[in-house]
Amino acid sequence: MKTTEQHRLRRRCDDLLRQVSIPTPWDLRDFLENLGEQRSRPIVLAEAPALADQSVSAQWWKQSDADVILYAPTQSTFYLELNVFHEVGHMLCGHDKRYTPFSEQDMEALTSAPGAASIIFSRSSRFDSDEEREAEFTAYRLKLMIERGTTVADDDPTNAHMRKAMRRALGNADA
């Protein structure tokens, strides 16, 4: 990513994150509840074991009356939060406003569940579109905001590896 483009992206993400309230002490569910209240739409967080067999690690299902974030099972709090924050990044960036909702028939064909979501976003390891990079950058900036206000287990090799990979992928976005 070019430096100018990265600075523009960072400014946009940071501007959006200034509107977000971080609970103290940190709690993911409290954060999502507060964000849902701010957006006037509840945010439901649910583990989805079926995602473990897919190429995505989280999905945002925008329903008519709520936002649902499904995530693949993981033992890493770091990875869980990053997955959830990626979906929150899509919400904060307004990515749902650029899409035409699926019809009920489309959704039933995709999910085999009547009355399912109107729009689906997914987090995978590929960030090959502007929206995916923007959501991922927002996720990383949010993770850094939270970690600066809490104790971080830097000795955890999984956390250290993930932080290093994100800094490399986003051009040391925490600088």
User: Taking the model in full, what pTM does it have?
Assistant: 0.72
Tens-digit pLDDT profile for residues 151-175: 545 455 666 666 676 666 655 544 4
The domain ranges of the chain are 3-169
User: Is the confidence at residue 5, as pLDDT, over 60?
Assistant: yes
Q: What is the 3-state secondary structure (H, E, C) of the chain?
A: CCHHHHHHHHHHHHHHHCCCCCCCCCCHHHHHHHHHHHHCCCEEEEECHHHHHCCEEEEEEECCCCEEEEECCCCCHHHHHHHHHHHHHHHHHCHHHHCCCCCHHHHHHHHCCCCCCCEEEEEECCCCCHHHHHHHHHHHHHHHHHHHCCCCCCCCHHHHHHHHHHHHHCCCCCC
Tens-digit pLDDT profile for residues 8-51: 888 888 888 888 989 988 999 999 999 999 999 999 999 988 88
